[in-house]
């Protein structure tokens, strides 16, 4: 279906002496885990020291063994922008970052708005990708925000959710109808919340920094006005709704209110908005130009509180490869977007090391929560579950070097950033798709 299926025939693999962390079952304890035929055959404290006979044994040396991450927002470039990224290169970046499932966005050329294109992505992923690849199909034809796509047939073809990509649906009537129509099929509507008129030409967060830099701003209101409208439409239609990436305290209030009223509303945040703020832009650094824009430090702190309280459901990398041609331009003219698959987990671990968020809460927002949201059976450590697992050294210090990134594009806001903690090994359906080989850079 999506690239990697469990299969038999390989020698079972036993991970011993591990710290098992599974947000789904709230497990955090020393133990071991046995992988057989692509599935988790057994796990628990009883496997901590002793592996069954006849299996290959991996000594985890006390490092964390947890479900592989599920990244619900990846812009992959294939088809149409293979010079920036392909499903293959994106999957290699994902594997190196401990991400075992990626959901690719419909903003491609052609747009993923037809059944044949969902099939295309799945075939390409099956043949080339080392991690699971799912498709987020377009909500409207050509992402133009006017006519809805064949949501029923696309869902049958395997689309896990529907999105209008990097643009909001400005027409309220269209938005109402896609929510109504999606409801009949139980389809999830993922929406980028940004009023296109308020944010027109905006280059960064509206405020003091933008004013000093002389850049046109994107206000928080551009985000909340669409979000509030959408919540009203959810109330009216009953459709399942997910705000793709919120960035400010005001949006968090809107989502919290919707959840209080038991509306089927969820939301996500990008790792960039949890770990960076607008000051990082400094002297017009375009690698920090993302959409929605980085906000103020207070907003970043609010996003962290949102993760802690559970009001923000998931963390995404919002991996968006852009090449030098479109990034090395005057700030306002440069492309939006940052790669993030390989730095998602290390950046998130910053919040763990700083004490801002617990490991369990962080991992939950990147494993079991996105799995539930998208209806996937992965994202957990359980007997019989697919063996999508990662081994993580929480302490290993390293420095990000953009030239070592596996992504075909190098537009990382974390270039030269100091990180603590990295992925040692990534398994997808029981197959090792990434293994850290020690210090790989000079």
Partner 1 sequence: MAIQSSNAPNPYPHRHLLTCERLTEGEINAILDIADNAADQSRRFDKKRDLLRGRTLINLFFESSTRTQSSFELAAKRLGADVMNMNVSTSSVTKGETLIDTAITLNAMRPDIIVVRHHAAGAVELLSQKVDCSVINAGDGAHQHPTQALLDALTIRRAKGRIAGLIVAICGDILHSRVARSNIDVLNRLGAQVRIIAPSTLLPAAPERLGAQVFTDMWKGIEGADVVMMLRLQRERMEGSYVPSSREFFHFFGLDHEKLARAKPDAVIMHPGPMNRGVEIASTIADHSRSVIREQVEMGVAVRMAVLEVLARNLPRDDDAMPDEQKPAPAVKR
Q: Which residues bind partner 1 (CB under 8 A)?
A: 140-141, 146-153, 174, 177, 180-181, 183-184, 237
Please report how close the Cβ of residue 161 comes to partner 1 at its closest, in angstroms. Answer: 16
Closer Cβ to partner 1, 55 or 180, answer by number:
180
Closer Cβ to partner 1, 174 or 226, answer by number:
174
Closer Cβ to partner 1, 186 or 330, answer by number:
186
Please report how close the Cβ of residue 245 comes to partner 1 at its closest, in angstroms. Answer: 26
Pairwise CA distance, residues 3 & 124, whole Å: 8
Please report how close the Cβ of residue 280 comes to partner 1 at its closest, in angstroms. Answer: 41
Closer Cβ to partner 1, 181 or 414, answer by number:
181
Number of Cβ within a 10 Å radius of residue 54: 8
Please report how close the Cβ of residue 186 comes to partner 1 at its closest, in angstroms. Answer: 11
Closer Cβ to partner 1, 189 or 312, answer by number:
189
Please report how close the Cβ of residue 140 comes to partner 1 at its closest, in angstroms. Answer: 7
The token pair at 116 is 């044949």
Pairwise CA distance, residues 148 & 128, whole Å: 30
Closer Cβ to partner 1, 29 or 147, answer by number:
147
- CB-based contacts of 93: which residues, under 8 Å, 6+ apart? 319, 339, 341, 342, 405, 406, 407
Closer Cβ to partner 1, 121 or 154, answer by number:
154
Contact in structure between 254 and 311 (CB atoms under 8 Å): no
Please report how close the Cβ of residue 188 comes to partner 1 at its closest, in angstroms. Answer: 16
Pairwise CA distance, residues 318 & 313, whole Å: 15
Q: How far is CA 114 from the centre of its chain?
A: 23
DSSP state of 97: T
Please report how close the Cβ of residue 177 comes to partner 1 at its closest, in angstroms. Answer: 5
Give the pairing of strands 64-67 and 389-399. Answer: antiparallel
Radius of gyration of the chain, Cα coordinates, nearest whole angstrom: 21
Q: Which of 383, 422, 336, 349 is nearest to 39 (CA)?
A: 383
Please report how close the Cβ of residue 136 comes to partner 1 at its closest, in angstroms. Answer: 17
Closer Cβ to partner 1, 184 or 298, answer by number:
184
Beta bridge partners of 15: 33, 58
The phi, psi pair for 73, rounded to 5°, reads -145, 95
Please report how close the Cβ of residue 137 comes to partner 1 at its closest, in angstroms. Answer: 11
Q: Does residue 79 have a cis bond before it (omega within 30 degrees)?
A: yes
- CB-based contacts of 327: which residues, under 8 Å, 6+ apart? 286, 287, 289, 334, 335, 411
Q: Which of 218, 225, 278, 270 is nearest to 247 (CA)?
A: 270
Contact in structure between 208 and 177 (CB atoms under 8 Å): no
Please report how close the Cβ of residue 373 comes to partner 1 at its closest, in angstroms. Answer: 22
Closer Cβ to partner 1, 60 or 174, answer by number:
174
Note the maximum CA span of the chain. 67
Pairwise CA distance, residues 70 & 68, whole Å: 7
Pairwise CA distance, residues 122 & 119, whole Å: 5
- CB-based contacts of 54: which residues, under 8 Å, 6+ apart? 11, 12
Closer Cβ to partner 1, 128 or 167, answer by number:
167
Closer Cβ to partner 1, 154 or 366, answer by number:
154
- Percentages of the chain per state (helix, strand, coil), in multiples of 5: 35, 25, 45
The phi, psi pair for 7, rounded to 5°, reads -145, 160
Please report how close the Cβ of residue 147 comes to partner 1 at its closest, in angstroms. Answer: 2
């Amino acid at each position: 279906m999506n690239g990697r299926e469990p299969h038999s025939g390989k020698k079972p693999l036993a991970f011993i002496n591990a710290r098992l962390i599974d947000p789904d079952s709230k497990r955090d304890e020393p133990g071991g885990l046995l992988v057989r035929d692509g599935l988790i055959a057994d796990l628990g404290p009883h496997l901590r020291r002793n592996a069954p006979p006849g299996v290959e044994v991996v000594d985890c040396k006390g490092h964390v063994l947890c479900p592989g991450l599920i990244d619900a927002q990846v812009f992959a470039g294939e088809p149409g922008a293979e010079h920036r990224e392909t499903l293959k290169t994106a999957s290699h970046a994902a594997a190196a970052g401990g991400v075992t499932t990626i959901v690719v966005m419909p903003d491609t050329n052609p747009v993923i708005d037809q059944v044949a294109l969902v099939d295309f992505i799945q075939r390409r992923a099956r043949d080339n990708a080392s991690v699971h690849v799912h498709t987020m199909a377009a909500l409207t034809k050509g992402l133009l925000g006017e006519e809805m796509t064949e949501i029923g047939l696309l869902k049958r073809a395997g689309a896990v959710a529907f999105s209008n990509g990097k643009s909001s649906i400005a027409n309220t009537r269209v938005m109402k109808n896609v929510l109504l129509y999606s409801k009949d099929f139980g389809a999830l509507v993922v929406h980028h919340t940004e009023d296109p008129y308020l944010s027109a030409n905006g280059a960064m967060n509206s405020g003091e920094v933008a004013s000093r830099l002389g850049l046109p701003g994107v206000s928080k209101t551009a985000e909340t006005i669409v979000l509030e409208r959408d919540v009203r439409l959810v109330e009216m239609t009953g459709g399942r709704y997910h705000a793709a990436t919120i960035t400010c305290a005001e949006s968090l209030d809107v989502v919290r209110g919707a959840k209080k009223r038991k509306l089927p509303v969820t939301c996500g945040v990008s790792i960039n908005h949890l770990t960076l703020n607008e000051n990082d832009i400094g002297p017009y650094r375009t690698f920090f130009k993302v959409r929605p824009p980085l906000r103020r430090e207070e907003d970043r702190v609010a996003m962290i509180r949102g993760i802690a309280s559970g009001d923000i459901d998931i963390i995404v990398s919002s991996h968006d490869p852009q090449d030098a041609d479109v990034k090395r331009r005057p700030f306002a003219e440069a492309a939006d977007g940052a790669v993030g698959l390989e730095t998602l987990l290390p950046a998130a671990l910053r919040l763990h090391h700083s004490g801002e968020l617990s490991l369990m809460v962080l991992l939950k927002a990147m494993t079991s929560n996105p799995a539930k949201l998208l209806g996937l059976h992965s994202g957990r450590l359980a007997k019989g579950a697919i063996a999508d697992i990662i081994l993580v050294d929480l302490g290993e210090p390293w420095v990000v070097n953009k030239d070592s990134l596996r992504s075909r594009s190098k537009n990382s806001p974390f270039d030269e950033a100091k990180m603590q903690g990295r992925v040692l090994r990534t398994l997808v359906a029981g197959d090792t798709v990434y293994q850290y080989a020690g210090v790989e850079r000079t």
